[in-house]
């Protein structure tokens, strides 16, 4: 069973942990929408369908022939360790906490950095060098690697061979590339979101407005929430309708994603944890450690797609 991080915060009686989780999901369209599966061990092995067996019409009372079995790829999503230490200077805590709760402020900053790194890795994480992105063997494989925007496929839509201005027709093509229902999120840069706003106004309408997971206003396109992220770059490079680098160009990418079991889903063991380490021996400070054993599971390739080569 998968659960949203916002719901997991409600299940905890630890006020400190609740505050950290709320800080982590705040301002992150991904972590507000994507549920996480709680797994045992350090990885999840699953079968991903690659081809269906064909159905056949038969005459009444006719003989039924044996059919080819569906084929699967067996994949494993492994967990990685994400986190950072939060050290609170005891002198500052004792002498300045009448103005502000220093400990809470330090933990909030640490939680924000965890959120920022997860969102960056959700998009650009790669455990092996890919289209110019340096490998980090301790990280996770993000969307750019899972969807494989550096190669042609049905789930990679190119705005042009070397990029082109965004059109609503291309955005609709991206949405149609996601099978099994509408996407749960259109993830893009702020530049791309501004362009969609401009296209909607030019067409004589405005984008719909809905309510997000935390009660905030969210823009919708065709009923699909738009999430803008500071971590989607506008400097990708396209060559022959595939991405060849994520720096040095003028292109961006829009991702259409379904979330949940059977689509794109997070994996975790123990959820986000706040561990009190105690007073440091070499410094007059108290340490907390925010850690998260987490990963991504890509259950079905047809449940996510990317529109590459989006120019201003």
pLDDT of the residue at 179 = 93
Per DSSP, the residues of 162-186 read S-EE--HHHHHHHHHTS-SS--SEE
Instruction: State the DSSP code for 110.
Output: H
pLDDT of the residue at 54 = 78
> What pTM value is reported for the model?
0.90
Average pLDDT value for the chain: 90
Render pLDDT for 75-122 as a digit per residue (tens, 0 to 9): 888 999 999 999 988 888 888 766 568 888 888 899 999 999 999 999
Report whether pLDDT(214) > 70.
no
Render pLDDT for 268-288 as a digit per residue (tens, 0 to 9): 999 999 999 999 988 999 999
**57 Cβ contact list (under 8 Å, min separation 6):** none
pLDDT of the residue at 99 = 59
How many angstroms separate the CA atoms of 15 and 24, rounded?
14
Domain boundaries 150-258+302-311, CATH class: alpha beta
Per DSSP, the residues of 184-218 read SEEEE-HHHHHHHHHHHHHTT---EEEE-TTS-EE
Count of all residues that appear for the chain in the document:
312
pLDDT of the residue at 48 = 83
Unique residue bearing structure tokens 């992150």: 28
């Amino acid at each position: 069973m998968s659960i949203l991080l916002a719901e997991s915060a409600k299940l905890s009686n630890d006020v400190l942990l609740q505050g950290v989780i709320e800080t982590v999901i705040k301002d992150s369209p991904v972590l507000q929408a994507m549920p996480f599966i709680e797994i045992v061990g350090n990885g999840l092995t699953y079968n991903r369908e690659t081809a269906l067996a064909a159905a056949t019409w038969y005459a009444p009372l006719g003989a039924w022939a044996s059919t080819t079995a569906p084929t699967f790829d067996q994949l494993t999503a492994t967990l990685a360790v994400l986190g950072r230490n939060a050290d609170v200077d005891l002198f500052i805590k004792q002498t300045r906490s009448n103005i502000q709760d220093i400990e809470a402020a330090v933990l909030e900053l640490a939680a924000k950095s965890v959120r920022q790194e997860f969102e960056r890795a959700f998009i650009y994480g790669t455990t092996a060098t890919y289209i110019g992105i340096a490998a980090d063997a301790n990280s996770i494989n993000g969307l750019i690697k899972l969807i494989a925007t550096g190669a042609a496929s049905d789930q990679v839509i190119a705005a042009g061979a070397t990029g082109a201005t965004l059109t609503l027709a291309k955005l609709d093509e991206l949405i149609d590339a996601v099978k099994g229902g509408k996407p749960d999120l259109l993830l893009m840069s702020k530049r791309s979101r501004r362009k969609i706003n401009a296209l909607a106004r030019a067409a004589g309408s405005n984008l719909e407005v809905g309510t997000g997971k935390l009660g905030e206003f969210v823009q919708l396109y065709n009923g699909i929430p738009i999430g803008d992220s500071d971590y989607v770059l506008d400097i990708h490079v396209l060559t022959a309708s595939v991405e060849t680098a994520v720096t040095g160009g003028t292109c961006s990418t829009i991702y259409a994603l379904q979330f949940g079991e059977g689509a794109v889903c997070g994996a975790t063991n123990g959820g986000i944890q706040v561990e009190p380490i105690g007073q440091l021996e070499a410094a007059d400070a108290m340490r907390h450690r925010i850690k998260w054993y987490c990963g991504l599971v890509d259950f079905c390739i047809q449940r996510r797609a990317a529109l590459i080569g989006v120019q201003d």
